[in-house]
Structure 1
Amino acid sequence: MHFRSLALALWLAVPAPVAFLPGHLLATAQAQQKQAITLADIWARPTFQQASVPGFDWLRDGRYYAALGRDGSLMQYSATTGQPTATLVAASALQVAGRPLTVDGYRFNADEQKVLFSTDTEPIYRHSAKATYYLYDRQTQQLSPLSTGGKQGYATFSPDGRQVAFTRDNNLFVKNLASGQETAVTTNGVHNQLINGSADWVYEEEFGFAQGFFWSPDSRHLAYYTFDESQVPEYDMQEWGGLYPTEYRFKYPKAGEKNSVVSVSTYDVASARTVRMDVGPEPDQYLPRVQWTAVPGTLSIQRLNRLQNKLEILHADASTGKTQVVLTDTNAAYVEINDDLKYLAGGKQFLFTSEKDGYQHLYLHDMSGRQVRQLTTGNWEISAVNGFDPKTGYVYYTSTEGSALQRHLYRINLSGKGKQRLSDAGGGTDVVNMSPDTRYFLNTHSSAGVPAVASLREGATGKLVKTLADNAKLRQTLAQYDLGKFEFFTFKTSEGVELNAWMLKPSNFDPAKKYPVLMHVYGGPSFGTISTQTVLDNANGGTSFQNYLWHNMLTEQGYLVVSVENRGTSGRGAAFRKATYANLGKLETIDQGEGAKYLATLPYVDKARIGIWGWSYGGYMTSLAMTKNADLFKMGIAVAPVTNWRYYDTVYTERFLKTPQQNPAGYDDNSPVRFAQNLKGKFLLVHGTGDDNVHFQNSIAFVDALILANKDFQTLYYPNRNHGINGGNTRLHLYRQMTEFIKANL
């Protein structure tokens, strides 16, 4: 960890006589002043609360941004000073029947005179939700409900600010704000059969969006998805608590099963005419992205075959539905889906990222799809396209050019020249939120073990304008606790593959001692904008902040904590990421085993006491490590694991394994269920019974196999908890059980 300045300050604060003590006594005296992290600090109290900029939203001219104030007011801030300049909506105005609204989110209309506030939000799945929306008119200072027909989803102003579209009960609606008239765009939506205007379960989970409708720039048309999921098999999940359990049934396409038949239509607001776009005769395909181009009346639709190795960009005429394929991108394994397709002002060109040269890079195309030029090259990859300035021709993007463990902001001209790094020199990771005109950006920077700093910066230079949240209070709090030393390292496997890793050591680490090791693993393949790296140069080292704290707590109880980045993860190009294609689990398990073998060679590691734990894909990896590498690991904890890829969804699983009909060995050869008889170490299996993502069925199958193999193990099931296993004191309870299991068995 990099608390050098804090450590120096603490050393200077030691009374003078102590400074002359022998080194080991001085260290003891200093250690006595530090506190020990507790599970309650992590999960029950706001001891380590992180500062951020809540509700940050760029305003239209780029000179100001909006954010929610501490009192609940919606405030305007200057981008050049970071100081509040106006109260856009006072908290006192956000009241219904004398009671203040609890604001969950907000959206402006185009001239920023009207605001939609969401409250009483009810989550559905990971991205989806429904809420009660209120419309506030800043000119009349009136607050009114958007609709009285039940909760709404994804309420969105039209670009001209005169209308709002939203979903309800699987249908799509438009409300005219001047007349107050509410019009049903669709009326055929039926639960578990037909969805209009929002995504089905698998699109939401794997393609990363829930809102399925899009206003045209001229506000004349509304494009929307329709999902016919009538033929998709249902998953039946029991919910516990009453005298009799109740059933929750939802459409979930497991690998090899039927998907929704998906279509895209446009609705002409003035004529109320609906036109279905021609997406081809093949119903068994994906349409993972829809957006309007800069050409009036032209819609862009991305079409992906079921094996996900051929992506086509279609341009559609919103009035006729006619389409043409303008670009095709193919890959021997699979094609990345992300949000990097950008149509440039003027309607003549678009930006697109592809890894056709082995790394995700940026390309410029004309509207016919012809490649104008490749803008970026090198053995690194772009992780996001952040903005474009039409005045200067500069594209802003975040990439791994500095290191696969880092992310930094750059810009380059459409000519392919003038590349410039805008992030400060040095390491760490930057998360960028750029203003629409690229004049400024909100930058959230952190490095290993150092809490994030949120700052406003100039788009053209990266120069600091103002620090908005520096987490100074959190830094002061962390300085009072015993925190281990965070070290990155690499090693080569017996196959000559170089792997990245980090290690957390106790603050009083003694190289003459032998320490037990707990390895933390995720290990699953990255896709699109989703990074699955657990070895990153950010505040948490690639894991969650809570896990980072928990790992530190374990180091102070005498453990080393290590994470090894196996093949199949992002940041290092297509060859490294796609090495696991069609055979998930094999190379990943080998690499984690090689990590354990490497650690066993270190003089301060007790090679007989190496454990491993992971969640989701990490639970799958832990289950394989404890069976296929049974001689290397003394203990394992698998949380919410996949144990048979036949139980998981179509989009994710077939992307990496093809269908089970085409590749049965890829599904079966590395299922932990198949290796249950090999278990030797102490094993804890954890799952939430209400997991809609990785179904409880996975753990049931593994438990059954372990029983048949007459193996001893422990289980911990959380009633009605989802994949995150949270709510109330659930996480506190879970991590207490895991901590005690580690202490008893490692």
Structure 2
Amino acid sequence: MRYLKFSIGVYFILTFFLNAQNQLITLEEIWSGAFRTESMDVLHSMANGKQYSVLNFDRNTGSTAIDIYDYQTLERVESLVSSANISELKYFIDYTFSKDEQKVLLATEVEQLYRHSTKGVYFVYDVQTKEVVKLYDEKVQEPTFSPDGSKVAFAFKNNLYIKDLLSGDTLQITSDGKKNSIINGITDWVYEEEFAFVKAFDWNANSNKIAFIRFDETNVPEFSMDIYGTELYPKQHVLKYPKAGEKNSEVSLHIYDLNSKKTGTVKVDKDYSDFYIPRIKWTNESNVLSAHILNRHQNELDLWFINTQDNTTNLVLEERDKAYIEVTDNLTFLKNNSFIWTSEKDGFNHIYHYSETGKLINQVTMGNWEVTEYYGYDENTKQIFYQSVENGSINRDVYSIKLNGRNKKRLTKKEGTNSASFSADFSYFINSFSSATTPPEYTLNSADSGNLIKSIKDNDRLSQQLSNYKISEKEFSTIHINGNDLNMWMIKPVNFNESKQYPLLMYQYSGPGSQSVANSWHSYNDYWYQHLAQQGYIVACVDGRGTGYKGADFKKVTYLNLVKYETEDQIEAAKILGELPYIDADRIGIWGWSYGGHMSTNCLLKGNDVFKMAIAVAPVTSWRFYDTIYTERFMRTPQENPNGYDDNSPFNYPEMLKGDYLLVHGSGDDNVHVQHTMRMVEALIQANKDFDWAIYPDKNHGIYGGNTRLHLFRKMTNFIHENLGDKRVVKKTKLEETQIKG
């Protein structure tokens, strides 16, 4: 009897264990954050190089704190400031130190504006006195300490202000700012979106001058969107949005002198008719400002040094490219005012060292691989620290190299995606590592050798949680198409049987310089792919021509013909994959978002003999409708290149639609306007084509908030089941649902 009980017990334990190994991922789990990873929030290396700070949230009290940790011990040294001890605010979500770390800006009530821009209520905390002072009574943008920590500059309603922290006085230094007309020190919509910066002002080293860019967008055409909201009448959101070939903001560069309280305009010794100023930065000399000036075609970039003492300007560097030039934040000035620069001029992105007059001293890195991140330069050891794809284009590693290009060291050891945050003195770095099989883990490493010192944080709990689920391996490989070995990943069902045939869903983004095939941990979409694999689908992704990290020629082959070669590669990839014995060539679908939505639409139309279905979320359908900076970088203007714009615009050939098509957009998308989808819908209607579509009210380009993502992905999942899945299974499921509903 005892033996029988033991056997039954073992049976139940084994049954439980096997069932636990067979849990299925649900859409509700994905979009409720069940698989969220632990991370290190707002990491800042303290100036002493021995400590770092992190923003911590106390779930019990709802308060936040800036906690200081010791690099060597990883133990918390102190809680520098906690909102629990400040009566004026319940919590803060971000912080910024002054250069001497004696004052801290605390961000509260932060409101998202566009992709990078926010406004919020800010407080200045004095580390010594423990006093808290409200910066301004209204929500402001981009508050920035002066280098000496005595002042804060910020923007409010398109004008610039300076608050003196000693006297408490606030000085308005520009007065002509006006909505949809003049902006001082903050970028306009298209600069923010495409040059990826918002703060268009900078303090000099002596804290007595501020350089800023002024945007006159008076003549930029307006785009308006209805915001439906919950009131009786909808409202209209009107913004200045320059579409390809249209008028841009007129930009000018100015310098405000705090001593004279006067503003001067910078004029360089060259005539520019239509240009951008994508970066400004003071050199180590307090009177010398650097400025990038880029022509409208974005294939000529000039670096200027502007002496604000004698009003002389010096053109120190000229970059030229047959296609386009990427703008970065990598410009670094050394103590002697020589500078570090990154460029693709030899065909791959590498690091260069120039003298203060712009003479090339040496090319620091070289090879048929790309530098993907520049971390900084250590004056003491004469070393540069950077990230690259030298160990394979789907991987990232951290390296050090001498300024003269010698003694290169690979500092990271694990194959996957490594990203570093260095201490201020470059003694240590905190490495963030993940791969397709390992969730993010954070370790302290020696900057000299790369050797592991201590583990800081991992996601072992998530790994344990996922061990209960049916998780398929993400298989990396290459596929040879149109003369190129293209990176690919594939996810197959756990119980994959090579003698069976499976439907295939392909995903891609394909935008210039992008990468979707990377050896890194799962995104939310990856969990959705696992969910689909559990339902019997194979999911694959191929990075075609035009994507990044394989050299300039590979990336820029799509110049003047966006989506043409990318579409050809996806269609050919589908044909090759469809020849595999375990893939049903009659059930191949494709989906994508934004640029990827344009791609999936084009693939369904131009590859109508290959793809059975496509889903396009927030797609571009004509580059004529998209903004100047992004579109013209790759296409020039519609006036110069009309065929490039129209030959791959899907609403120009809707009659080619044969398969099943789902079109999704947010009505409040300020980036890819819902106009794109409306034009596509009208074209399909007039071509008498059937399709499915969904509009998410007031949702932006990300289409999120509340249950929105869950609803969207459930809709897409059902569409895939109905059009790629086994019809018998679909009909049975619907029959069961009908019976359950009675």
Quickly name the TM-score band, shorter chain normalised: over 0.9
The AA in structure 2 aligned to 1:327 is L
CA positional deviation for 1:689: 0.4
Residue 174 of structure 1: aligned partner: 162
Q: Deviations over 1:150-200 (max 9, x none)?
A: 111111111110000110000001111000010111111000000001100
CA distance in 2, matches of 1:74, 1:29: 42
CA distance in 2, matches of 1:694, 1:226: 26
Residue 3 of structure 1: aligned partner: none
The AA in structure 1 aligned to 2:87 is Q
SS in 1 for 2:34: helix
Q: 1:93 aligns with which of 85, 103, 106?
A: 85
Q: 1:504 aligns with which of 491, 511, 533?
A: 491
Maintained 8 Å contact 2:139/2:156: yes
The AA in structure 2 aligned to 1:496 is G
CA positional deviation for 1:144: 2.1
Give runs of aligned pairs for residues 177-256 of structure 1, distance below 5 A. Answer: 177-241=165-229, 242-256=231-245
1:291 aligns with 2:281: yes
Maintained 8 Å contact 1:445/1:452: yes
Q: Deviations over 1:646-667 (max 9, x none)?
A: 0000000000001111111110
SS in 2 for 1:461: coil
Q: 1:47 aligns with which of 26, 29, 34?
A: 34
Tell me which moved more, 183-192 or 281-290: 281-290
Tell me which moved more, 402-411 or 430-439: 430-439
Give runs of aligned pairs for residues 356-395 of structure 1, distance below 5 A. Answer: 356-395=345-384
CA distance in 2, matches of 1:537, 1:120: 37
Residue 21 of structure 1: aligned partner: none
CA positional deviation for 1:136: 1.2
Residue 248 of structure 2: aligned partner: 259
Q: 2:515 aligns with which of 513, 533, 539?
A: 533
SS in 2 for 1:427: coil
**Stretches of structure 2 lacking an aligned partner (at least 5 in a row):** 1-6, 59-63, 725-742
Q: Deviations over 1:588-632 (max 9, x none)?
A: 000001110111111110110000000000000001011011111
Residue 673 of structure 1: aligned partner: 651
1:521 aligns with 2:499: no
Give runs of aligned pairs for residues 577-726 of structure 1, distance below 5 A. Answer: 577-726=555-704
Change (3 A) 1:15 1:482: farther
Residue 463 of structure 1: aligned partner: 451
CA distance in 2, matches of 1:240, 1:533: 36
CA positional deviation for 1:31: 5.8
CA distance in 2, matches of 1:437, 1:369: 27
Residue 404 of structure 2: aligned partner: 415
Q: Deviations over 1:263-302 (max 9, x none)?
A: 1211112221212211443241011111111223111101
Maintained 8 Å contact 2:545/2:557: yes
Residue 474 of structure 2: aligned partner: 486
Q: Deviations over 1:520-552 (max 9, x none)?
A: 1101102xxxxx200001113xxxx11010110
CA distance in 1, matches of 2:695, 2:312: 52
Maintained 8 Å contact 1:275/1:319: no
Q: Deviations over 1:633-677 (max 9, x none)?
A: 111100000000000000000000011111111100101111211
SS in 1 for 2:23: coil
CA positional deviation for 1:16: 12
CA distance in 2, matches of 1:207, 1:403: 28
Maintained 8 Å contact 1:389/1:437: yes
SS in 2 for 1:643: coil
The AA in structure 1 aligned to 2:505 is L
CA distance in 2, matches of 1:28, 1:623: 45
CA positional deviation for 1:511: 1.1
Residue 26 of structure 2: aligned partner: 38
Change (3 A) 1:152 1:321: farther
Residue 476 of structure 1: aligned partner: 464
The AA in structure 1 aligned to 2:236 is E
Q: Deviations over 1:658-703 (max 9, x none)?
A: 1111111110010111121101111000000000000000000100
Maintained 8 Å contact 1:133/1:146: yes
SS in 2 for 1:703: helix
CA distance in 2, matches of 1:224, 1:323: 17
Q: Deviations over 1:479-508 (max 9, x none)?
A: 111111210111112x32211100011111
Q: Deviations over 1:441-495 (max 9, x none)?
A: 22111111321112222211112222222111111111111111210111112x3
SS in 2 for 1:592: helix
Residue 74 of structure 2: aligned partner: 82
Maintained 8 Å contact 2:487/2:517: yes
Change (3 A) 1:625 1:143: same
1:333 aligns with 2:323: yes
The AA in structure 2 aligned to 1:704 is E
Maintained 8 Å contact 1:312/1:329: yes
Change (3 A) 1:15 1:214: farther
Query: RCO (CA 8 Å, sep 6+): is it higher in 1 or 2?
Result: 1
SS in 1 for 2:602: helix
Residue 391 of structure 2: aligned partner: 402
The AA in structure 1 aligned to 2:362 is R
CA distance in 1, matches of 2:688, 2:627: 30
1:278 aligns with 2:267: yes
CA distance in 1, matches of 2:394, 2:302: 31
Maintained 8 Å contact 1:517/1:561: yes
**Stretches of structure 1 lacking an aligned partner (at least 5 in a row):** 1-13, 19-25, 527-531
Residue 23 of structure 1: aligned partner: none
Maintained 8 Å contact 1:535/1:565: yes
Residue 298 of structure 2: aligned partner: 308
CA distance in 2, matches of 1:250, 1:315: 34
SS in 1 for 2:717: helix
CA distance in 2, matches of 1:73, 1:422: 32
SS in 1 for 2:653: helix
Once superposed, which parts of structure 1, at least 4 consecutive aligned residues long, lie more than 6 Å away?
A: 14-18, 26-29
CA distance in 2, matches of 1:208, 1:165: 20
Identity of aligned residues (%): 45
